[in-house]
C-alpha cells in the first residue's frame, strides 16, 4: 500500500486540487512519510494553514488499512475487550467534563462516531437523552446489544436524524478521518435545533507533545490546528463559541452553535497561518523534542495508568460494571 501512495498517477490515490477549507490551490509539502515510515504525502495549504494528506488514498485503500490495523484488537468477536471498555470509559469521563457547559437537564445529545457507546452510556446514566451513530459494526452492535443503547450503524451520510432535533451533537476524533469534514459539519448543523451546539475534537497539528516522527497518521486525512478547526466550522455555516486544547495541547476542541438564522459564509483564508504551522511542524525536530518534558513524563504516566487498569480489570470484567464505575467518577 505504501508504494501505491508514491505515485499520483496510481489509481489507488487521487490528487486534491482545492483546499477543503479555503478552496486555495497553493500547497507546500510538509512530510513524505507517516508515523510508521511508510510513504504518505502531507501538504500545507498556503491560503489557510490546513494540513492534509495529498495525494489521498482511495476509500478502499483506507478501508483495507483499518481492517489490518484493527484486526488484532477486534479479534474473533469483533467487539471491544474489557480493557478497551475500561479505557474508553475513562476517556468518556474526561469528555463529559468538556461537554458539561453545553448540557441542560434531559437534553438530546447525538454522538457521531460513538464507538462502543461508552460516552452514551455515561450520558444516559446522567439522565440525558443520548443516541449515537457508529460506522464500525462490531462496536456499534456492542453498544446496542450489550449496553442497550440507541446507535445507528453507518456513517453520517446514511444516518437518519430528524432535522433540527438535537440540542447537542458531538464528534470526538471523527472529522480528521472523513473525506469532507466541512460537508460533515454542515450535515451535523442540520441535526441541531437553531441555537443547538456542536463539539468537535481532533488531534492538534500545532502541538509539540508528540514525537515529531509520529505526527502524521495514515488514517487521518486532515490535520487541524486551533485556527483551521474553527474556520472549517464557519465554512459549514456554524458560529464559533470557543476553541480550546486538552491539557497537553495534543488535542484541539471547538464548540460551535447553529445560528438562529443562516449566516453568509466567508472565504476561509487565514492570512499568515500557513507560515505559523509550517514553522512549528518543521521546527519541532527530534533533538528539540528530547529537551522537552514530554518524552520523560508520558512513559511514567502510561505506567501509572496501566497499573490502575490492571487493578480494576483484576476485580471486574463486565462492561456494564466497568462503565457504572466510570459513571460514578463523573462530577467528582
Ligand atoms: Zn486552505
- For residue 23, tell me if it sits in a domain: no
The Å distance, Cα 226 to ligand 1 centre, comes to: 14
Q: Is the pLDDT of residue 3 over 80?
A: no
39, 32 Cβ separation under 8 angstroms: yes
The Å distance, Cα 256 to ligand 1 centre, comes to: 20
Q: How high is the mean pLDDT of the chain? A: 89
What does DSSP assign to residue 12? T
Looking at residue 11, its pLDDT comes to 59
* Cell digits of residue 38: 511508510
Quick one: what percent of the chain has pLDDT higher than 90? 67
The interaxial angle of helices 294-315 and 82-99, nearest 10 deg, is: 120
125-175 pLDDT tens trace: 999 999 999 988 889 999 999 999 999 999 999 999 999 999 999 999 999
35, 1 Cβ separation under 8 angstroms: no
Confidence of residue 289 (pLDDT cuts 50, 70, 90): low
- For residue 172, tell me if it sits in a domain: yes
Looking at residue 4, its pLDDT comes to 41
Q: Is the pLDDT of residue 7 over 80?
A: no
Decide the pairing of beta strands 108-112 and 129-134: parallel
* For residues 239-267, average pLDDT: 94
Looking at residue 10, its pLDDT comes to 63
The Å distance, Cα 229 to ligand 1 centre, comes to: 11
Residues with a beta carbon under 5 angstroms from ion ligand 1: 19, 21-22, 24, 45, 47-48, 50
The Å distance, Cα 118 to ligand 1 centre, comes to: 35
321, 86 Cβ separation under 8 angstroms: no
In terms of residue numbers, what domain contains 209? 81-263+274-329
CB within 8 Å of 289: residues ≥ 6 apart: 208, 211, 212, 295
Predicted structure pTM score: 0.90
For residue 130, the SS3 value is strand
How crowded is the C-beta side of 204, counted as CA atoms within 13 Å? 21
Q: Is the pLDDT of residue 123 over 90?
A: yes
- For residue 27, tell me if it sits in a domain: no
- For residue 269, tell me if it sits in a domain: no
C-alpha separations of 121 from 51, 111, 139, 198, 321 in Å: 34, 11, 13, 19, 11
Confidence of residue 76 (pLDDT cuts 50, 70, 90): very low
- For residue 184, tell me if it sits in a domain: yes
CB within 8 Å of 71: residues ≥ 6 apart: none
The Å distance, Cα 123 to ligand 1 centre, comes to: 36
CATH code for position 186: 3.40.50.150
Dmax over Cα atoms in the chain, in whole Å? 56
For residue 277, the SS3 value is helix
318, with CB counted inside 10 A (0-12, 13-18, 19+), is: exposed
- For residue 91, tell me if it sits in a domain: yes
The Å distance, Cα 50 to ligand 1 centre, comes to: 5
- For residue 122, tell me if it sits in a domain: yes
139, 118 Cβ separation under 8 angstroms: no
51, 284 Cβ separation under 8 angstroms: no
Domain count, the chain: 1
Instruction: Report which secondary-structure segment, H or E, holds 118.
Output: helix 118-125
* Cell digits of residue 216: 502524521
- For residue 69, tell me if it sits in a domain: no
Confidence of residue 12 (pLDDT cuts 50, 70, 90): low
Amino acid at each position: 500500500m505504501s508504494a501505491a501512495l508514491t505515485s499520483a498517477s496510481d489509481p489507488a490515490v487521487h490528487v486534491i486540487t482545492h483546499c477543503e477549507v479555503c478552496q486555495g490551490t497553493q500547497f507546500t509539502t510538509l512530510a513524505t512519510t507517516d508515523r510508521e515510515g511508510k510513504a504518505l504525502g502531507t501538504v500545507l495549504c498556503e491560503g489557510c494553514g490546513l494540513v492534509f494528506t495529498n495525494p489521498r488514498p482511495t476509500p478502499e485503500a483506507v478501508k483495507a488499512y483499518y481492517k489490518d490495523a484493527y484486526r488484532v484488537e477486534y479479534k474473533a468477536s469483533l467487539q471491544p475487550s474489557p480493557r478497551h471498555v475500561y479505557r474508553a470509559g475513562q476517556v468518556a469521563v474526561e469528555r463529559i467534563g468538556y461537554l458539561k457547559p453545553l448540557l441542560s437537564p434531559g437534553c438530546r445529545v447525538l454522538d457521531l462516531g460513538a464507538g462502543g457507546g461508552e460516552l452514551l452510556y455515561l450520558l444516559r446514566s446522567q439522565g440525558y437523552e443520548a443516541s449515537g451513530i457508529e460506522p464500525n459494526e462490531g462496536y456499534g452492535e456492542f453498544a446496542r446489544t450489550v449496553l442497550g443503547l440507541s446507535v445507528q450503524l453507518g456513517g453520517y451520510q446514511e444516518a437518519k436524524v430528524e432535522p433540527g432535533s438535537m440540542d447537542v451533537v458531538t464528534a470526538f476524533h471523527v472529522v480528521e478521518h472523513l473525506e469532507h469534514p466541512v460537508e460533515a459539519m454542515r450535515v451535523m448543523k442540520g441535526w441541531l435545533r437553531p441555537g443547538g451546539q456542536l463539539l468537535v475534537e481532533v488531534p492538534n497539528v500545532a502541538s509539540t507533545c508528540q514525537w515529531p516522527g509520529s505526527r502524521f497518521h495514515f488514517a487521518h486525512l486532515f490535520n487541524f490546528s486551533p485556527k483551521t478547526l474553527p474556520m472549517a466550522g464557519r465554512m459549514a455555516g456554524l458560529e464559533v463559541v470557543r476553541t480550546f486544547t486538552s491539557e497537553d495541547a495534543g488535542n484541539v476542541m471547538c464548540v460551535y452553535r447553529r445560528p438562529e438564522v443562516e449566516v453568509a459564509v466567508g472565504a476561509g483564508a487565514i492570512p499568515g497561518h500557513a507560515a505559523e504551522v509550517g514553522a512549528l511542524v518543521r521546527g519541532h525536530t527530534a533533538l528539540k523534542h528530547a529537551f522537552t518534558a514530554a518524552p520523560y513524563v508520558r512513559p511514567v504516566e502510561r505506567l501509572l495508568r496501566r497499573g490502575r487498569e490492571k487493578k480494576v480489570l483484576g476485580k471486574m470484567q463486565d462492561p456494564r460494571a466497568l462503565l457504572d464505575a466510570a459513571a460514578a467518577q463523573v462530577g467528582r
